[in-house]
Amino acid sequence: MEVTLDFPEEDTLSVGAAGLADGARPLLAELRRLSERAAAGRRMRDGVTVALVGRPNTGKSSLLNAMLESDRAIVTDVPGTTRDTLEEWLDLGGIPVRLIDTAGLRTEASDEVEGLGMARTRAAMERSDLLVAVLDASQPAGAEDHAVLGALAGGEQPWLVCRNKSDLPPALGDLPAHPTLGSVETCALTPAGVAPLTSALKAALAPGGVDPVEVLLTSARHADCVSRALEALERGVSAADAGVPVDLVCQDVRLAAEVLDEILGGSATEDMIETIFSTFCLGK
């Protein structure tokens, strides 16, 4: 396009609307893919937080131990054994996950300590990226189960229903579930019993899976650059198709190239330099 502007007499080098669309089509597809997968890239870099929530004695601590393959949390038959949040890191298909076991939620706390534990549970729910409602599938759903599901349905985070203790006769009945993530059945007694939950979490956190050789954007700045380049290139192609003069179309295409050059390091603005160096500790 630059040659078309600088040497208009060279007809063999001119780029028309059709040529621009053909050349830009694979670039647009790649930029769209990078932009759509940016969230997965940030998750692989920063990790995500997943909280196990529910009323007391549904098996949240047992699930955490089974997923970690370690007796990290104390498990007893006494309801309300967990009085505080317990956090551990877990690798799920290449995505670092901070898994939180929480104190059971009741309609009313039985004492001050349980009340403090429930407050910490709600705080953990607010800072989590995904919530897992753990229900005892061997017991009919009670008011506390419905209260937990109602709180998740009214929140902003995605949530998954886990019908635990599937080794026992079912008695839970039909309950509402997330329209996309749905529900899974688990049994915390064996590794195979928690496999449905880990598979559902992988699918929710990285839709389509994670290819070890796939290029993912792990920087918010890079994701912003790709988004701006995509918008500029789409604008340029639309303008060319509409018959806009080539010198005006070239401005959008040039902008897309300049923005991508910020990722590659070919150009650097003062704002970009300040952003980059603000994340480093220099001089040591």
pLDDT of residue 92: 83
More confident residue, 218 or 55: 55
CATH topology of domain 2-37+217-277: Four Helix Bundle (Hemerythrin (Met), subunit A) (1.20.120)
Residue 152 has pLDDT above 70, yes or no: yes
Give the tokens for residue 227: 């988004």
Q: Are 87 and 128 in contact (CB under 8 A)?
A: no
Which pLDDT tens digit goes with each residue over 211-267? Answer: 554 566 667 778 888 888 889 988 888 888 887 777 788 888 888 888 888 878 766
Beta bridge partners of 87: 100
Residue 185 has pLDDT above 90, yes or no: yes
Mean pLDDT along residues 65-75: 76
d(CA 109, CA 126): 20
Kindly tell me the sign of the dihedral angle through the C-alpha atoms of 121, 125, 131, 133: positive
Burial (CB < 10 A; 0-12, 13-18, 19+), residue 99, is buried
pTM: 0.61
Which pLDDT tens digit goes with each residue over 122-150? Answer: 999 898 889 999 999 999 988 999 999 99
Residue 22 has pLDDT above 80, yes or no: no
Architecture of domain 46-205 in this structure: 3-Layer(aba) Sandwich (3.40)
Q: Are 67 and 194 in contact (CB under 8 A)?
A: yes
What residues does each domain of the chain span? 2-37+217-277, 46-205
Most confidently modeled range among 4-13, 44-53, 139-148: 139-148
